[in-house]
Amino acid sequence: MAEGRRADGAQTLERGLLVLRMLAESPGGLTAGEVAQRMEVHRSIAHRLLTALTRQDFANRDAQNRYHAGLAFFTLAERVRPRLLDLAHPVLHEVTGELDATACLVVADNDHAVAVVVVEPSGPGPRFSYDVGNRDPLDRGAAGLALLAAGPPRDGEPERVRQVRETGHLVTHNEVVDGAYGIAAPVATPPGERAAAVNVITHRADLADRAIPVVTRAAERITRSLRGAGA
């Protein structure tokens, strides 16, 4: 019986975290019915989860009965915000301004490269759509291979990863998104922190070569800042 209660508690916790993630990824909010539909559970279960999150201020309900991520979610996220994000933001803004292309910071999460900072050009021209939370495979594409190069050497790793360690950058084409170029450079993060890399994404072939020194310098600047912040 105790074992069953522990299992039920773990399932409830997992469902609650899933609802919180849904709310954070839905700027327009979600109704209890929409949450239930996405989770494939009865509406009463979704309502109980939303009520529990609301009591703890991790969710709030507006006048249209739509739920949004609550203040506690944002304040907690701000308290544990990695310094890497704050150091990367101004650097990526400069990269985007210089290249007029989407720039992002990616970190390794199991077998994926996850975008944690994304800066898009502010002008009226075409943009490469890329969002915070976007996940790409580690074993292909500039971002993923640069993250592998940011970590320690491993037996049997791709030859391109070794090349990134030697050159400090990588350019790929058509590996993750058709027609897209990725230009990435690894960031040397302190021991115990996730591997990170600067990545620029564009459909323009002429921009790929021009972006190499810009991306490489950006990764080096973030690396130096991390070392200084840790001093």
pLDDT of residue 231: 42
Name the helix (H) or strand (E) containing 113. strand 112-119
Residue 212 one-letter amino acid = I
pLDDT in tens, 33-76: 999 999 999 999 999 999 999 999 889 999 999 999 888 887 77
The first and second tokens of residue 187, run together, are: 């960031």
CB 181 within 8 A of CB 202: yes
Residue 75 CA neighbour count, 13 Å, CB half: 7
Confidence of residue 154 (pLDDT cuts 50, 70, 90): confident
What topology does CATH give the domain 2-78? Arc Repressor Mutant, subunit A (1.10.10)
- How far apart (Å, rounded) are the C-alpha atoms in residues 68 and 220? 38
The first and second tokens of residue 12, run together, are: 């409830």
CATH 1.10.10.10 placement within the chain = 2-78
pLDDT in tens, 112-136: 999 989 999 887 655 667 788 888 8
CATH 3.30.450.40 placement within the chain = 83-229
Q: What is the DSSP letter of 133?
A: T
Q: What is the DSSP letter of 30?
A: B
pLDDT in tens, 101-117: 999 999 988 889 999 89
Helical H runs in 40-180?
Answer: 43-55, 71-79, 83-99, 142-150, 159-167
102-109 vs 67-69, strand pairing mode: unpaired
What topology does CATH give the domain 83-229? Beta-Lactamase (3.30.450)
Sequence-ordered list of residues with C-beta below 8 angstroms from that of 99, at least 6 positions apart, any chain = 200, 202, 207, 210, 211, 214
pLDDT in tens, 176-221: 888 889 999 999 988 878 889 999 998 888 899 899 999 999 999 9
Q: What count of residues does the chain have?
A: 231
- How far apart (Å, rounded) are the C-alpha atoms in residues 147 and 205? 23
